[in-house]
Structure 1
Amino acid sequence: MARVTCDCLLVNPWRLYSYHPHQSFAVPLVTLTQTKKQQKLTLFSSSKTRTRALPFDLSPPPIDHDLLDTVAATAGAKVSDDGIIETFDNDDQALDAVYNGVAVVDLSHFCRIRVSGEDRIQFLHNQSTANFECLDEGQLMEELNLGDLVGQPYGTHQHFSVNGMPVTVGVGNVISEKGFSLLMSPAAAGSVWKTILSQGATPMGSNAWEKLRILQGKPAPQKELTNEYNVLEAGLWNAISLSKGCYKGQETISRLITYDGVKQRLWGISLSAPAEPGSIITVGGKKVGKLTSCTSGRKESEYFGLGYIKRQNVSEGDTVMVGDAITGTVVEVPFLAGQRPPSRSSSS
């Protein structure tokens, strides 16, 4: 029988981004070396075979440290009332580092749901649109250079040991298939955070992270992901399997796909001025959608938003009105452009 628990601040998922196509990564224990063309990061890990016992425990550790004190000690850090680092007073620099260097953001305020028990895979498989039964355990490699992970498919991951504590490194992050994610115990996270920064990575706070999320086009809970919209309208095709069998909502999803019943979709919108989320989107005076998120762009005079628009009313490059007097241009966004509609022969 599966048992579900929610572990908040139990582990610290780090998101390490680099969008430079010629950069490579490699790791020496917990050392990151960085130049303009190459970054290196090397970790010790276990044997390459999957059958040998791990030399460390991968089960979730107790909450033995609060990383906030370590991260808050970083220059420029400003903490919200909820205990989240909002900024390091470097938002523009952090956003630029995403595209031209390396940025690192602490997401330890995110929650993790732990499902245990012999039927945990079947339980998750039956409760979601994704195919959990096709997942493989992470490979275990000895003295692996993370350079070997460069170019690997999104989600490829391996387990390492840092001073006897587990660190899992995965390809990609929650808003992009590029970069890396690091998941670890709070006991290991502080030294990893300091080491990455000492090698030239730029710390990113939640404000810059939110701007990056919108620019990349990743839908977020309470904004793009609400009861008003379904997973197909949000464009989350990579989270859907048509061949896995029954799950809650499966008939509705299948019917929408079979009969092309998706009436609206999420778009990026380049705006002439800042607009309030919830603003009505119109074409020719007719309501066609609603703005869900808005942020300033990478340049001071730019503004960018996300919004749902009826499919038959617009296509990429079309002009819309947002609110009473704001002009918008409909654009594709990187995250949604990377979503691949499922085929019935696919098992993922």
Structure 2
Amino acid sequence: MSALQDAQIQAGAQRHPDGCPLTFGQERATEPILPTGVVVFDRTHWGRLRLTGADRVRYLHNQSTNDIQSLVVGQGCDTVLVTSTGRTLDLVTTYVEPEALTLIVSPPSRCHIHQWLEKYIFFADQVTVQDQTEASAMFTLLGTASHGLISQLGAQHLANQPLGNHALIQWREMPIFIAVGTGLTNPGYTLIIPIEFAANLWQWLVAQGAIPWGEQAWEWLRIQQGRPVVGAELTPDYNPLEAGLWQDISFNKGCYIGQETIARLNTYQGVKQQLWGIKLTAPVTPKTPIYLGDEKVGLLTSYTDYFEREHLGLGYIRTRAGGAGLTVQIAGQTAQIIDIPLAHRGYLSKTQG
């Protein structure tokens, strides 16, 4: 890890306390290149868990919301881990490999999710959970020019494939796991590599034109697009339907932890609040209440103004209060509720347009 950190510091990185680059000092100046160019994020601080054993697929299928058993080797998907009462623990990306499942989990919940998964392994289950985070690094390439970089690495066959599809390639004697998708709406790829090769791959990507961006820029993108995160939008206060994660839930797969609650919410249209984007006119601290007139109708969960163009937030709004286009008050200022591209709304899309 020190070799990777040294390479990033030489490139101007200021580091976050958790070890990830906070900023490289060039994000605002290089923002215009994102649609047609390529930027690279170091997401090594995200957790990587590995499930092995003959029962691994069945086990994860029974512990999470999506249909894991329908996947074949080389495919992947997002799935949600929830409590027995349907409250959200984490949004997890799962990749199906020949002999294992790789799970990408949120940085704050890595240890908790590891323990939670082990808690539900019973005596007869042939499943082992291993934490691979310290042994590997993870980078995400965003932008259409990322297709060219992947081709140079020998994974051109992944271009235009569905999200989650992946392959393990050998490049200059380095094993690199490459998956389609970025966790955002931007086109791109996620790369996982043994930690001893991380600095070499990072330096190569930058030398080929990938512009390093830090955690502050990632935060701006994910708030702009509506990706919920643990500790803000994904907490025991909310369920995955409220967080707009309908596309990561199978309503036909049968039982899993929390399934009865999720199914009941869907059947009886019981989603009482929804996650929306919020366009503000000034900074606001997360956890500030949202009002419609004199009535409290929601809570701000995230805020950013990183690219200095606008003040953006995410927040939960009571379903009966409305959605996109609604004008609300937050901390004495008027704010506008806006749609977010990553939020799916299930049956609500039929009733609210």
For the criterion TM > 0.5, the same-fold answer is yes
- Confirm whether residue 93 of structure 1 aligns to residue 29 of structure 2: yes
Distance change >3 Å, CA 220–CA 94, structure 1 → 2: farther
Counterpart in 2 of 1:207? 216
Distance change >3 Å, CA 328–CA 125, structure 1 → 2: same
Counterpart in 2 of 1:333? 340
Distance change >3 Å, CA 98–CA 177, structure 1 → 2: closer
Counterpart in 1 of 2:56? 120
Secondary structure, aligned partner of 1:238 = helix
Counterpart in 1 of 2:8? 72
Q: 2:216, 2:306 within 8 Å by CA — same for their partners in 1? A: no
Q: 1:270, 1:304 within 8 Å by CA — same for their partners in 2? A: yes
Q: 2:70 aligns with which of 134, 137, 154?
A: 134
Task: Determine the C-alpha separation between the residues in 2 that align with 1:148 and 1:204.
Answer: 26
Q: 2:39 aligns with which of 82, 103, 112?
A: 103
Distance change >3 Å, CA 114–CA 266, structure 1 → 2: same
Counterpart in 2 of 1:162? 171
Alignment coverage as a number of residue pairs: 273
Supply the RMSD in Å over aligned alpha carbons: 2.3
- Confirm whether residue 319 of structure 1 aligns to residue 255 of structure 2: no
Task: Determine the C-alpha separation between the residues in 1 that align with 2:9 and 2:251.
Answer: 48
Q: 1:84 aligns with which of 16, 20, 38?
A: 20
Distance change >3 Å, CA 143–CA 313, structure 1 → 2: closer
Task: Determine the C-alpha separation between the residues in 1 that align with 2:3 and 2:259.
Answer: 40
Task: Determine the C-alpha separation between the residues in 1 that align with 2:23 and 2:152.
Answer: 35
Deviation at 1:70, TM superposition (A): 4.2
Q: How does 1:241-256 map to 2 (within 5 A)?
A: 241-256=250-265
Task: Determine the C-alpha separation between the residues in 2 that align with 1:118 and 1:308.
Answer: 40
Task: Determine the C-alpha separation between the residues in 2 that align with 1:173 and 1:146.
Answer: 16
Q: 2:18, 2:45 within 8 Å by CA — same for their partners in 1? A: no
Distance change >3 Å, CA 340–CA 293, structure 1 → 2: closer
Counterpart in 1 of 2:226? 217
Task: Determine the C-alpha separation between the residues in 2 that align with 1:93 and 1:275.
Answer: 25
Distance change >3 Å, CA 153–CA 254, structure 1 → 2: same
The structure whose residues are more often helix, as a share, is 2
Greater Rg over alpha carbons, structure:
1
Deviation at 1:136, TM superposition (A): 1.3
Q: How does 1:168-179 map to 2 (within 5 A)?
A: 168-176=177-185, 178-179=187-188
Counterpart in 2 of 1:274? 283
Counterpart in 1 of 2:203? 194
Q: 1:94, 1:203 within 8 Å by CA — same for their partners in 2? A: no
Q: 2:178, 2:192 within 8 Å by CA — same for their partners in 1? A: yes
Q: 2:279, 2:337 within 8 Å by CA — same for their partners in 1? A: yes
- Confirm whether residue 283 of structure 1 aligns to residue 292 of structure 2: yes
Deviation at 1:327, TM superposition (A): 1.4
Distance change >3 Å, CA 270–CA 170, structure 1 → 2: same
Distance change >3 Å, CA 168–CA 320, structure 1 → 2: same
Task: Determine the C-alpha separation between the residues in 1 that align with 2:176 and 2:156.
Answer: 16
- Residue by residue, what CA displacement relative to the aligned partner does 1:40-93 show, whole Å, maximum 9, x if unpaired? xxxxxxxxxxxxxxxxxxxxxxxxx55543443342111233322111112313
Deviation at 1:143, TM superposition (A): 9.6
In the superposition, the TM-score normalised over structure 1's length comes to 0.73
Identity fraction in percent? 42
Counterpart in 1 of 2:118? none
Distance change >3 Å, CA 282–CA 67, structure 1 → 2: farther
Listed as ranges, the gaps of 5+ residues in structure 1 are 1-64, 343-348
